[in-house]
Amino acid sequence: MSKKTKKGKIDSYLIFELENELFAIHVNKILSILEMKKITKVPETPDYMKGVINLRGEVLPIIDSHIKFNMSPMSISMKTSILVMELKRDNAKTVKLGLMVDKVDEVLQIQSKKIQAPPSIGAAYESTYITGMYKKDDKTFIMLIDIDKVLSLKEIVTIGDISKLKEEMEKKAEEEIETDEEMTGESKE
């Protein structure tokens, strides 16, 4: 959501925490926010892929933001949330995924003229993701993230393949159950 005022363009950002640092993603990228759910692990996936969840009948890959941002693996707490979003990358198809975060803080209106350039040297986080820094107060910076740049094209394709793989595994399991039921039913007659 953007609006122009006499003070310049103002955008809305969802603020969240990772290891006590504040990050922000433009609200237009967020489809929904979920409480933590049971995650089904998928074998032979990258470290940052925690697995998948069932979201209203759809397979949703879940990313551990800590690992993706080169932090220590996430510790799940009562405040852990999943940000559901769609990533778009050049000519690649859109991929829906969930990003685990330590805590969702707030939605904040930020004037574009108050956004500073991202750090270029010595940043603890991959600066290709960071589009800018917002100084919330004298002690607090918020790092603005371009979520479409968090995953490479290859990683997006991999996540898309994981969704398909999980769907195929579920379909095959259902078919095996149906076959077992048919065989059991026939043998009883």
Q: What is the pLDDT of residues 140-174, one digit of tens each?
A: 999 999 888 777 655 655 555 555 555 555 665 56
Percent share of the chain, pLDDT over 70: 69
Residue 73 binned pLDDT confidence (cut-offs 50, 70, 90): confident
Averaged pLDDT of the chain: 80
pLDDT for res 147: 85
Task: Please state which of the ranges 15-19, 96-100, 104-108, 123-127 shows the lowest mean pLDDT.
Answer: 123-127
pTM: 0.75
CATH 3.30.70.20 is held by the domain 2-184: no
Per-domain boundaries in the chain: 2-184
Burial classification of residue 140, based on how many CB atoms lie within 10 Å of its CB (0-12 exposed, 13-18 middle, 19 or more buried): exposed
Residue found under tokens 């049971």: 38
Type and span of the H or E element at 15: strand 8-18
Give mean pLDDT, residues 88-104.
81
Q: List, in sequence order, the alpha helices (H) in the chain.
A: 65-68, 153-188
Residue 189 binned pLDDT confidence (cut-offs 50, 70, 90): very low
- Segment 18-44, tens digit of pLDDT: 999 999 999 999 999 999 999 998 888
